[in-house]
Amino acid sequence: MRAGLDHDRPTREHDRMSHVKPASGPVTVAAGYARQLAGFAVSRGADMASLLARAGIDPAVLDDYDNRVDFPRYAALMREAKAQTGDRALALHFGEAVNLADISILGLICHASATMLDAFVQMNRYGQLVVDAAPAGRTDRFTLERARGALWLVDNRAMPPGFPELAETTFALMICGTRPFGDTPFVHEVHLAHGDPGYRDAYEAVFQAPVRFEAGWNAMRVDEAWLRHPIAVQPRYVFGVLTAHADALAEKLSRSGTMRGQVEALILPRLHTGEISAQAAARALGISRQTLHRRLSAEGCSFSAVLDDLRRQLAEGYLSARKVSINETAYLLGYSEPSAFSRAYKRWTGRSPRRLTS
């Protein structure tokens, strides 16, 4: 039984997760996340130089989107920011104010998702780019679970106790980030594992929902209708409208009458989901996998070769434009981890992708 709950561990409602490997080793956060927190604190009266110095963060580290900040340094940055601003609820206010798209491609991916449920799936896939806190041995930091006749969004983060600010910012980002997409309340109740820090009114003002502390888990009771709520405010972003190169590629594919062109046009807007396979492509095209293989073979190629070449073309455009990091490029191209992309890039070009962005 969960502490503070009158039911067994709720059953999994949704298991359509991507197969991104969970973090191994020390937990880290994206340099962009730390930079946004520092900037937010400065906007509220903190001093940037002393913030970073007291947290032990080299300012140069925050200049590269591919850099990571050790979690203890991020925690120190948060605590120093609270001290300098005099705002005990700074983590809540940071999550309320920040635009996730300014921190990571995750925000843009979520905005490009068809529905809130699709955005939830991508949040699990890309979330580790912001904070790699998936539980050991699992790929899904967030799950949708049923308990007491309601649907709960649960944060299963792997994190030592003593830093409630992570839950504060995470839930504030999720709740406040969905408000532009409709007036229907997304969250009806918030449960938190930590105790009341003494500013309950700030929680309820930001979350606009009742809050229960020492609940035995970090979870939000969400509206069922929210899962089907449409988003898709930036549907073309995720398949390459970052560079003129990628936009031209999309236009070329739309004019192609070959089977290869049809497959490429099908893959392009789906790469970022990480759910690309020959079977899925054949199904979407209304043919069997054997027929797809035969038609591609007649054109002198294979599904794996088409996928590999499309990834290579997009990688060149993404990295040369310097608008996304190496890690973000890896996930945009459908790789399960950045190291797999780095190996592929070296096979394509004979050099590390970092040399192109440095």
pLDDT digits (tens, 9 = 90+) for 210-220: 999 999 999 99
Range with the poorest average pLDDT among 72-76, 109-113, 133-137, 233-237: 233-237
Taken in order 13, 221, 128, 247, is the CA torsion positive or negative? positive
Of residues 307, 306, 331, 305, the one with CA closest to residue 318: 331
- Give me the residue spans of the domains in the chain: 11-22+93-228, 237-357
As to burial, measured by CB atoms within 10 angstroms (0-12 exposed, 13-18 middle, 19+ buried), residue 60 is: exposed
Q: Between 256 and 303, whose confidence is greater? A: 303
CATH of 237-357, one of 2.40.30.10, 1.10.3720.10, 3.40.50.970, 1.10.10.60: 1.10.10.60
* 257-270 confidence digits (pLDDT tens): 789 988 888 888 77
Phi, psi of 336 (to 5 degrees): -80, -15
Reference 129, options 319, 329, 340; nearest CA is 329
pLDDT confidence of residue 160: 60
Highest mean pLDDT among 42-51, 216-225, 348-357: 42-51
* Number of residues written out for the chain: 358
CA distance 130 to 51: 20
